[in-house]
Structure 1
Amino acid sequence: MSSNWENFLKNLGEWRGSFTKISPSGKILDSTPSILNLEAFDNHQAVLFRLRRFDSSGYDSPPIDDYQQEYRSLGRQNIFFATGAFSKGTLQLAPFAEFGAEYGFVDDDRRLRLVQLYDEKGNFISLTLIREFRSSTDAYERPPLTVEQLIGNWQGKAHTVYSDLRPSETYASYLEIKETGNGYLEQKLSFSSQVITSTARIEGNKLIFDKERTTRQILLLPDGTSSNVPLQLQLRKPFFVEAGWLVRENERQRLIRTYNEKGEWVSSTHVIELKIEN
């Protein structure tokens, strides 16, 4: 199995894209063009990270921000998977502190990243969607995700990495999503002898799950993206946050960060799901 660093190196290259701010309700706000360079040196033992952002006139103008950083190691909260996909974020949910998570997916000449942010009171306040395309390729953007694309049966393979450094696990998963009528949707997730069934209300580009005084929202976003979060983080209650990407019509990937009742980050999971015929 490749190391965390080797998986990180699968993100190397020059990536042109944009940072798009999105409101908690899914409204697209402003967008900033960007160029990200990840360049290895010193026999691939180090990586130079350079991010340039531009104003609305685009890449031909001088950057309004130019940030560089050298990496020779990765923090324990940065988990990279075999495809180059990664997730990182807050290690500990704490009172009166902001909370955030970032996810990244890689597929050939495409990268997609998503950042979810909460304020000091645990309220979900914003998303940033980062769509990136390898320079000098014909990589293209996926259409916005729809409920219809999610409907069906998905056979998955999940890989979970734990924060306490116990051995990682790989296991099968099965997700069934179906409409039940009257504007509702049901999903049944099976993995590791567990079965979790939940029902959502469909509201445009939102799926709303209300259960045990917790409201969870899945936003269906541009480029086949989905954001799955509780709208309010509660102390002393376990939770998870998730991002998804419909890479192709029959392939979806998800990244999940799980936290326990103490607010401690417990694990990161990458799932690759293929839609199967009924």
Structure 2
Amino acid sequence: MKTQWENFIQNLGEWHGSFTKISATGEILKDTPSILILESLDDQNKTVRLTLSRYNSFTKTPESKVDELVTEYQTLGRNLLFFESGAFSKGTIQIAPFSINGAEFGLVTKNRRLRLVELFNKDGDFDSLTLIREKQAGIDTPENPPLTVDALLGKWQGEAITMYPDLREPNIYPTQMELNIDNTGRLVQEINFGNTNPKTFTSSAKIEGSILHFDQSSQPVKVLLLPGGASATFPVKIELRKSLFFELGWLVEPELRQRIIRSYNDKGEWESSTLVTEHKIR
């Protein structure tokens, strides 16, 4: 198994993209062009420098630069986990009252990255959502279309890798998800996962345009279908003594989807991060 640092440096490169601020209803509020350079400062990749520049124009000239952040890394924080692909989840270690809570995710495939930041305010209410779509410099891959319910319908099979903050051996197991529309117009989701004693969860959501309201449990969840084939999943409200999760999904190709999930128990403790890679089989 690779080290966390080896997983982290899968993100090295010059990434061109934008930071898109999105409302709780999926409305695009602001789009800020960006260039992020993640570079090694030595032959052994022991020190890595991050330079993030943001611009007020997609021409990205020196005159249009509005800010720049430079950070160097030799170690990684306890609040994040990287997978072998370079995918990661970062965020709050302990959900706490009267604190800003949330998560950041990154998914990497070939020459593209998709990142997402979900934040909640001190009252536990939604604060902000930022979607970051990036491509390696010089790559002109077309942008994925906005995600739709129709693109998700069907049966998906795949594999999940669950990693833990204490860096114990990851848990790897098969997954299956089926999404259909019932006769009332609601989206029905059935998820099966696990090797021995597999578990099954069924839930349903009200469809409201590009928003899915999973509103029938004690912890209601909202899913926003976003540009670039992305989806953001988060609790309607963070409540103490209730387990919760945050998730980023990415329809990389019409029949290939990745999801990364950050889970917390009912004590508010960060329990795990899970990367799911699934293929549509029908």
> Which TM-score tier does this pair reach, normalised by the shorter chain?
over 0.9
Greater displacement, 229-238 / 164-173: 164-173
User: 2:36 is matched with which residue?
Assistant: 36
Q: Which deviations, in whole Å up to 9, do the C-alpha atoms of 1:209-252 show, x marking residues without a partner?
A: 11234321110000000001111011011111111000000100
- Whichever residue aligns with residue 182 of structure 1, its letter is T
User: 2:232 is matched with which residue: 227, 230, 238?
Assistant: 227
Q: State yes or no: 1:267 paired with 2:261.
A: no
Question: Normalising by the residue count of structure 2, what TM-score does the alignment of the two structures yield?
Answer: 0.95
2:52 maps to what in 1? 51
Partner Cα distance (1:212, 1:110) in 2: 35
Q: Tell me what 1:243 maps to.
A: 248
Which of 68, 89, 95 pairs up with 1:87? 89
Q: In structure 1, the residue corresponding to 2:220 is in which secondary structure?
A: strand
2:106 pairs with 104, 107, 125, which one? 104
Rounded Cα–Cα distance in structure 1 between residues aligned with 2:142 and 2:6: 26
Residue of structure 2 aligned with 1:131, choices 109, 114, 133:
133
Partner-residue secondary structure (3-state), 2:128: strand
Matched residues, percent identical? 50
Distance 1:165 1:108, change over 3 A: closer
Counterpart-to-counterpart distance in 2, 1:126 and 1:211: 24
Q: Once structures 1 and 2 are overlaid, which stretch shifts more, 187-196 or 53-62?
A: 53-62
In structure 2, the partner of 1:181 is 183
Aligned to 2:221: 216
- Residue 262 of structure 2 corresponds to 257
Contact 1:160 1:269 in 2 (8 A): yes
The Cα offsets for residues 159-178 of structure 1, whole Å up to 9 and x where unpaired, read as 00112333211111100111
Deviations 1:59-95 (A, max 9, x none): 0143211111111111122211121111100111111
Residue type of the alignment partner of 2:23: S
User: Any idea what the Cα deviations from partners look like across 1:124-171, whole Å, max 9, x if unmatched?
Assistant: 122101011111112221000000110011101100011233321111
Deviation at 1:57, TM superposition (A): 5.9
AA aligned to 1:90 is T
**Counterpart position of 2:169:** 167
Q: Secondary structure at the match of 1:181?
A: coil
2:212 maps to amino acid: L
Q: Decide whether the 8 Å contact of 2:219 with 2:244 is kept in 1.
A: no
Structure 2 residue 16 is the aligned partner of structure 1 residue 11: no
User: TM-score scaled by structure 1?
Assistant: 0.97
Task: Give ranges in structure 1 of 5+ residues lacking alignment.
Answer: none
Cα displacement (A) at 1:56: 3.1
Is 1:146 equivalent to 2:151 in the alignment? no
SS of 1:5 mapped into structure 2: helix
What is the DSSP-based 3-state SS (H/G/I as helix, E as strand, rest coil) of the residue aligned with 2:168? coil
Instruction: Tell me the secondary structure at the aligned position of residue 204 of structure 2.
Output: strand
Instruction: Please give the secondary structure, in 2, of the residue aligned with 1:64.
Output: strand
Contact 1:55 1:61 (8 Å CA) reproduced: no
CA contact 2:114–2:134 (8 Å) conserved in 1: yes
Say which SS state the counterpart of residue 128 (structure 1) adopts. strand
- Rounded to whole Å, the distance in 1 between the matches of 2:123 and 2:59 is 36
Gaps of at least 5 residues in structure 2 are none
Q: Does 1:201 align with 2:231?
A: no
- CA distance, structure 1, for counterparts of residue 245 and residue 187 of structure 2: 20
Give 1:205 deviation, angstroms.
0.1
Distance 1:158 1:257 in 2: 13
Q: Indicate whether 1:60 and 2:61 are aligned.
A: yes
Give the distance between the partners of 2:204 and 2:257, measured in 1 at CA. 20
Q: Give the secondary-structure state (helix, strand or coil) at the position aligned to 1:235.
A: coil
CA RMSD of aligned residues (A): 1.1
- Check the 8 A contact 1:133/1:140 in 2, yes or no: no
Runs of 4+ in 1 over 4 A off after TM superposition: none
Distance in 1 between the 2:184 and 2:202 partners?
18
